[in-house]
């Protein structure tokens, strides 16, 4: 059973004449053709000959004279070749059992870019495609933009802007938007926008199934992550995880650092220190009910101006798993002589394992304004430092009146 892949279709006469002014979705262009009752059953995809000089992806219903062509985002017919149509028709006999061979993928790689996007969008929504299926998306665009950014970071001039747009959404590749932001920051140039793009780029790649990327692109992305880490050591563990996974082609490794509280109690060790460069995590109270987590990182004198310009204030996300479950906190990192430092005190309760991990790269003012309300409230509640609390107050003062986080912060301080 075939249904539209595109949200837009247009009826065409049997002679194949194309009228760009024709009605979309039978006059309801705000509707989504994929869900119109008229296309619920009885249709099959076909290559519809048009007077445009190429066959278009279409829908026909045996026994009727109705013919529709599917449209791209500018309301143009989508070209389709017979070999591509054959793969599509076979898939549509049973989406749930979709199994694309290497030969199928090679065929689809030759298809129109819009058709590849629409097909992957449906496969991702209704099935669980193998990672290699996503290789047919137009990744050369991402590789070209990656190379452009690397060139600018190496001292070159920006080239023509490359818009990645929505083409990679079926793969869940939200790192592409961060790559565009990074490119924009370098073009302006803006230390803050560049830093925000680099932060999101590394964080999102660290959680992405890199098997969905072709091998050569993984290598180039790893090269870029390495360059960003060299420029900003605060990307630290997140950037290293992203780079290692890109090079290994591995799934996300989210295993946190583990601290067995029972062992800590048994051998009477109450403190532990973990280095996740550039941050040092000092844990105390491991044998009690309250964990104190202190975070420090050295900052060179010549780096301060950039830190302030790129971040404003800085917060580090951490995850703590105790007997009562997992919680994520934002630790305000306060500027001090030669370092930034922050502290939280978390009530754990007795027994069980304790796991602590840095949950991503540090964020600045721009990202702090977008934090979830409960995460901010929870983070303020465990902040014992006056300087840390003042950082939250200062953030509130920079928010517009009526901003949801301003209300949360003001309520937390009574």
Q: Tell me: the pLDDT tens digits for 212-246?
A: 999 999 999 999 999 999 999 999 999 999 999 99
Q: Helix, strand or coil for residue 182?
A: helix
- pLDDT of the residue at 264: 45
User: Residues 104-115: pLDDT tens digits?
Assistant: 999 999 999 999
- Exposed e or buried b for every residue in 281-316, given b needs 16+ CB within 10 A? bebbbbeeeebbbbbbbebeeeeeeebeebbbbbbb
In whole angstroms, what is the distance from residue 104 CA to residue 107 CA?
Answer: 5
- 64 touches 75 (CB < 8 A): no
Q: Helix, strand or coil for residue 297?
A: strand
In whole angstroms, what is the distance from residue 270 CA to residue 400 CA?
Answer: 44
In whole angstroms, what is the distance from residue 224 CA to residue 145 CA?
Answer: 11
- pLDDT of the residue at 255: 53
User: Residues 237-295: pLDDT tens digits?
Assistant: 999 999 999 999 877 765 555 555 444 444 456 788 999 999 999 999 877 788 899 99
In whole angstroms, what is the distance from residue 196 CA to residue 211 CA?
Answer: 25
Give the angle subtended at the CA of 134 by the CAs of 131 and 138, to the nearest 5°. 150
In whole numbers, what is the pLDDT of the chain averaged over residues? 92
Classify residue 335 as exposed, middle or buried by CB count within 10 Å of its CB (0-12, 13-18, 19+).
Answer: middle
User: Residues 22-72: pLDDT tens digits?
Assistant: 789 988 878 999 999 989 889 999 999 999 999 999 999 988 888 999 999
Tokens of 42: 């009885």
pLDDT greater than 70 at residue 400: yes
The pLDDT confidence band at residue 97, using thresholds 50, 70 and 90, is: confident
**Sign for the pseudo-dihedral over CA of 243, 244, 250, 253:** negative
Residues of the chain by 3-state class (helix, strand, coil), percent to 5: 45, 20, 35
Q: Is pTM, for the whole model, over 0.85?
A: yes
């Amino acid at each position: 059973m075939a249904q539209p892949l595109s949200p837009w279709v247009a009826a065409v006469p049997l002679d194949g004449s194309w009228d760009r002014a024709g009605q979309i979705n039978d006059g309801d262009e705000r509707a989504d053709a994929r869900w119109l009752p008229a296309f619920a059953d009885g249709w099959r995809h076909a290559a519809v000959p048009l007077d445009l000089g190429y066959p278009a992806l279409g829908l026909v219903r045996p026994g009727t004279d109705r013919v529709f062509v599917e449209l791209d985002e500018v309301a143009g017919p989508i070209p389709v070749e017979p070999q591509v149509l054959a793969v599509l028709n076979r898939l549509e006999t049973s989406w749930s059992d979709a199994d694309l061979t290497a030969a199928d993928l090679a065929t689809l790689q030759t298809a129109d870019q819009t058709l590849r996007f629409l097909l992957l969008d449906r496969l991702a929504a209704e099935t669980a495609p193998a990672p290699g299926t996503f290789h047919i998306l137009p990744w050369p665009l991402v590789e070209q933009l990656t190379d452009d950014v690397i060139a600018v970071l190496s001292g070159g001039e920006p080239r023509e802007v490359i818009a990645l747009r929505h083409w990679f959404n079926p793969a869940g590749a939200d790192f592409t938007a961060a790559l565009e932001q990074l490119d924009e920051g370098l073009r302006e140039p803006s230390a803050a926008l560049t830093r925000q793009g680099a932060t999101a780029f590394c964080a999102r790649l660290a959680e992405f199934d890199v098997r969905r990327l072709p091998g050569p692109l993984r290598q180039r992305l790893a090269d870029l992550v390495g360059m960003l880490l060299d420029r900003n050591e605060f990307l630290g563990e997140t950037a290293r995880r992203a780079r290692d996974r890109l090079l290994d082609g591995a799934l996300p490794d989210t295993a946190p650092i583990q601290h067995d509280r029972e062992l800590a109690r048994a051998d009477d060790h109450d403190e532990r220190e973990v280095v996740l460069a550039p941050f040092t995590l000092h844990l105390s109270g491991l044998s009690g009910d309250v964990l104190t987590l202190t975070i420090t990182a050295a900052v060179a004198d010549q780096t301060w101006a950039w830190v302030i310009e790129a971040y404003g204030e800085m917060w580090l996300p951490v995850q703590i798993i105790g007997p009562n479950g997992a919680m994520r906190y934002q630790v305000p990192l306060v500027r001090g002589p030669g370092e930034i430092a922050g502290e939280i005190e978390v009530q754990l309760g007795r027994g069980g394992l304790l796991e602590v991990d840095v949950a991503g790269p540090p964020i600045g003012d721009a990202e702090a304004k977008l934090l979830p309300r409960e995460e901010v409230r929870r983070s303020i509640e465990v902040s014992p430092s006056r300087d840390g609390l003042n950082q939250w107050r200062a953030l509130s003062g920079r928010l517009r009146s009526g901003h949801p986080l301003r209300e949360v912060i003001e309520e937390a301080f009574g």
